[in-house]
Amino acid sequence: MRILALIGSVVFAFCLGAGASPALAQNMTVEVTGQAAESGLGRATTRLRALEAALVEAAIMGGADVTGYSAASNGILVSDRLILRPASRILDYTILSETEVGGFYRVQLRAVVGDPPVAIVDSCARRSELNIITYPLRLRIDPLTPAWVETLGPELRDSIDAAIRSRPSVSLTGSNDTGTMPGRSAQVGLDMDYAALTSGATAGQRAPAGSLAYHADIALRMQGQNALTLVLSSRLIDTGTNTERARSNYEQTVRLSAGLPLRALDVLASRDRSAIVQKLLDEIDAHIAGMIDTYACRPLEGVLALSGDRLTLPFGAKDGLTRHHLAFSEGQATPYILFEIESLAEHSAVLRPIDRNRTASALAGTRVSFMQVAK
């Protein structure tokens, strides 16, 4: 009842305007002011009461249920009571100002009120725009395979590139360089890459920030006398950090002409190698689609990194974020710690806490997820 006494006029006005119908709760940002009169209990207590008043008013603005009951004694009405049940939760808030004027302590705050945040889980309601660079395939060929198998590299690459290019929101660039190798030491230059040294290829300029390199390791080997097997390991590598982002494996076996000696098999099968390649890559579209879609539709959640005095995440506009998104993590003083996007690049974002009293250094290492707030 102490809080109701502090904001009695607020509750009364709310009852007149809203009656007993609850307002629909949506995530929203409100600015409110609460005040409390000095009652001789000290400045800290008065400040706390003003803060409580502001928080209750914020909850009311987010929607509330108001019910009433009467108390009677011996048939005589002795009191009426109002019960206020906020329909929205105060998710997080920041104090904008505090003042003492004429025996009153006032606290102005900005609060986010509404339903508990839920991470974005609709797998492809938000799809990343991907810039993918493909490089020459790394082939391992069983010496028992027909001689013409050694010439399949260009056709295999063209089929894989076509499968990548067909995915929505993918921009493909083909490169004849060897590309970076995951796990290579930072002290080893691009021109000293093992593949470059052994194949004679030279590495060109570094890929644009935010792009992905597609690497394919392919093994072609004979199964028995008349079956050719292709084993493909596909990987997407972040060109900025040289780390693996996605991996998928694919295997397909094609029977060649039966009952022929290897020399005859070389001659006859080479005439129909396009059909053989098509059979080997019969499910390549599904293989590529599964790997790319898993990455493109990944949940936007990660650990905040400290860059100077700013909190950053490796997600940006091309990963599906907009300035309307809020990030959240579990809080202590409040149910949640909410973050808004301060600046947004193609593949990175700078976040700041709703509560400006929280320092970036104290929040570094916090795992956050993104939700979308009704505007």
In the chain the domains, ranked by start, together with CATH numbers, are 2-114 (3.30.1660.40), 130-296 (3.30.160), 301-372 (2.40.10.410)
Contacts of 280 (CB under 8 A, 6+ apart): 156, 228, 230, 252, 254
Question: What's the chain's average pLDDT?
Answer: 74
Share of the chain above pLDDT 70, in %: 69
Q: What angle do CA 165, 286, 228 make, to 5 degrees?
A: 105
**Alpha helices by DSSP H, 96-185:** 153-165
Measured torsion, CA atoms of residues 339, 341, 345, 347, in degrees rounded to the nearest 10: 30
User: What does the alpha-carbon distance between residue 281 and residue 158 come to, in Å, rounded to a whole number?
Assistant: 11
Residue 90 binned pLDDT confidence (cut-offs 50, 70, 90)? confident
Residue 238 banded pLDDT, cuts 50, 70, 90? confident
**Are 75 and 46 within 8 A, CB to CB?**
no
Helix and strand element counts for the chain (H, E):
9, 18
Q: Give the model's pLDDT for residue 140.
A: 94
CA-to-CA separations, 19 to 14, 32, 67, in angstroms, rounded: 8, 22, 8
What SS3 class is residue 304? coil
Residue 138 confidence class, pLDDT cut points 50, 70, 90: very high
Structure tokens given for 279:
């059979």
* N-terminal to C-terminal alpha carbon distance within the chain: 33
The Cα–Cα gap between 141 and 222 comes to: 9
Does residue 226 surpass a pLDDT of 60?
Answer: yes
Average pLDDT over residues 155-171: 91
- Token couple for 81: 């009571």
Q: pLDDT, tens digit, for every residue of 30-41?
A: 888 988 888 777
